[in-house]
Amino acid sequence: MPHPTTPSGASADFTRHPTLRERADALARGATTSERLVADALARIAAHQAGGGHAYVGTVDASAALQAARDSDRRRAAGQVPSPLAGLPVSIKDLFDVQGQATQAGSAGAVPGTQPALADAGAVPGTQPALADAAAVARLRAAGAVLLGRTNMSEFAFSGLGLNPHHGHPAHPHDAARITGGSSSGAAVTVALGLADAALGTDTGGSIRIPSAFCGLTGFKPTARRVPLAGAYPLSRSLDSVGPLARSVDCCAILDAVLSGETLDTAAPPLAGLRLGVTEDFVLDGLDGAIAQAFDQALARLSAAGAQIVRFGFAELLELPGINAAGGLVTAEAWHVHRDRLQDPAQAARYDPRVAQRTRRGAAISAADYIDLLDARARLQATARDRLQGLDAWLMPTVAVLAPLLQDVATDDDRFFATNAKVLRNPSVLNFLDGCALSLPCQPAGGLPVGLSVGGLHGADARVLQVGRAVEACLRAG
């Protein structure tokens, strides 16, 4: 697998970095300390930034992180270990409030001297420090995680590609000529390059799973609203979810327990006899050859291990492009969030033009159109419950294409929007259906990363994590 062609300050071989469980075990044995782990991560971050890397936004507060690590070591010595995350360095997507820090959601911020809109919505894109942690951040802090810094992202989380004209484009950790995927682009880079042990992200149409798939990581989008959204800058109130990017299903389960406040039974079941659904409708159309090959090989290995691959029809998914032709729920709800600023020329001029263009489409969606969208969503959710009945999980390629080349999308608007739509197509299905899903690496040795989606419908989080563990073990065994 090729390494980045530009300096990164860290190896692109994500597989050599320990999991959260391995880190926690090393801390428990006294084989390392939180201070050492955080100091190592900070050294990697410094080298990454010195080499032109853009995973983090702004300056990482090294002194505060080291002090938090020392405090964690003292508490551990006194027997105070609140969770397996205690003492481990975690990165935070730039749309979450962190007390004392400004939240810009990947934007250039508000025009200086103006009052940002939606000041009561939690995080606002400005320069004023947040008065309190976002709910998810507060839970990580209470669990003992050491917060390293804010990660780069698509502006306002409104793209699946991960480019950012204000703060630089995070480079793909395996091939710097390619995009990282978004919107949680910097988050994925921090984990893949060992600049953090895990990352906090959000997923509205695939923003955790896309960069996880492109970067060879494991990402989990829980059922929406299982993790509170308070203090996270909104994109779509109907679709936003908060979840982790990490190195294994176990890592995601550890983080989910902290973020949701709910410890699920995620023990892996025997793979033999599991009924894993696959549909060719919509989600298998037009796959890159490498994606189709990796997916077929993964299915063959699961079948050889005793899993039942159940083919089922879901032709109603073909209605999704028509349902969302005007931009869908995300565009309507993003317009509600941003309309005041986009109607102010001085504020609008600070937007990424592509984000502004997509968001403005929401102005043409009427209340009647919006109700039609909600009705269509409810109808497809009911159909999905019928189609997936009796299945343990629903498998599909996380993304239909390999990570695209940066040069193909950076300057050509038509190619940017077409590629963005293709990248978002598969993962957004689970968001529209109000489901949950893992993305697991399934690429052959030496190939660019490919993600396998293990999904379920609303509330199936425990089963998805259980099946994900079994699938992961099978894929890694080969």
User: How large is the average pLDDT for residues 262-267?
Assistant: 97
Quote the DSSP letter at residue 172.
P
pLDDT at 2 over 90: no
* Residue 3 forms part of a structural domain: no
Count of CB atoms within 10 A of residue 422's CB?
Answer: 16
The strand pairing partners of 397, in sequence order, are 452
* Residue 150 forms part of a structural domain: yes
Which residues have a catalytic role annotated? Answer: 93, 183, 207
pLDDT digits (tens, 9 = 90+) for 430-476: 999 999 999 999 999 989 999 999 999 999 999 999 999 999 999 99
User: How large is the average pLDDT for residues 302-329?
Assistant: 98
Kindly report the CATH number assigned to the domain that includes residue 394.
3.90.1300.10
* Residue 137 forms part of a structural domain: yes
Task: Give the pLDDT of residue 163.
Answer: 98
pLDDT at 230 over 60: yes
pLDDT digits (tens, 9 = 90+) for 342-361: 999 999 999 999 999 999 99
DSSP string, 281-342: TTTTTT--HHHHHHHHHHHHHHHHTT-EEEE---GGGGGHHHHTTT-HHHHHHHHHHHHHHH
pLDDT at 81 over 80: yes
Helix, strand, coil percentages for the chain (3-state, nearest 5): 40, 15, 45
User: What span, in angstroms and rounded, lies between the C-alpha atoms of 238 and 236?
Assistant: 5
pLDDT at 15 over 60: no
User: How large is the average pLDDT for residues 238-253?
Assistant: 98
pLDDT at 232 over 60: yes
* Residue 357 forms part of a structural domain: yes
Number of structural domains (the chain) is 1
Task: Give the pLDDT of residue 3.
Answer: 33
Task: Give the pLDDT of residue 127.
Answer: 62
Listed residue (354, 432, 348, 433) closest to 387, CA to CA: 433
What percentage of residues in the chain have a pLDDT greater than 70? 93
pLDDT at 419 over 60: yes
> Between 111 and 417, where is the model more confident?
417
* Residue 304 forms part of a structural domain: yes
Query: What's the mean per-residue pLDDT of the chain?
Result: 93
pLDDT digits (tens, 9 = 90+) for 164-188: 999 999 999 999 999 999 999 999 9
User: What span, in angstroms and rounded, lies between the C-alpha atoms of 247 and 250?
Assistant: 8
Listed residue (307, 245, 296, 291) closest to 473, CA to CA: 307
* Residue 8 forms part of a structural domain: no
Task: Give the pLDDT of residue 110.
Answer: 72
Task: Give the pLDDT of residue 456.
Answer: 98
User: How large is the average pLDDT for residues 246-254?
Assistant: 98
pLDDT digits (tens, 9 = 90+) for 95-153: 999 999 999 999 998 766 554 433 334 444 666 899 999 999 999 999 999 999 999 99
pLDDT at 8 over 50: no
Instruction: List phi, psi (to 5°) of 326.
Output: -85, 0
Task: Give the pLDDT of residue 59.
Answer: 85
Q: How far out from the chain centre does Cα 35 lie?
A: 27
pLDDT at 9 over 60: no
User: How large is the average pLDDT for residues 271-285?
Assistant: 97
**Residue 233 sits in which domain range?**
14-477
* Residue 256 forms part of a structural domain: yes
Nearby residues of 427 by Cβ (< 8 Å), 6 or more positions away: 160, 203, 205, 206, 209, 210, 221, 398, 399, 437, 439, 453
Listed residue (101, 96, 88, 122) closest to 255, CA to CA: 88
User: What span, in angstroms and rounded, lies between the C-alpha atoms of 56 and 90?
Assistant: 12
pLDDT at 237 over 80: yes
User: What span, in angstroms and rounded, lies between the C-alpha atoms of 350 and 441?
Assistant: 37
* Residue 73 forms part of a structural domain: yes
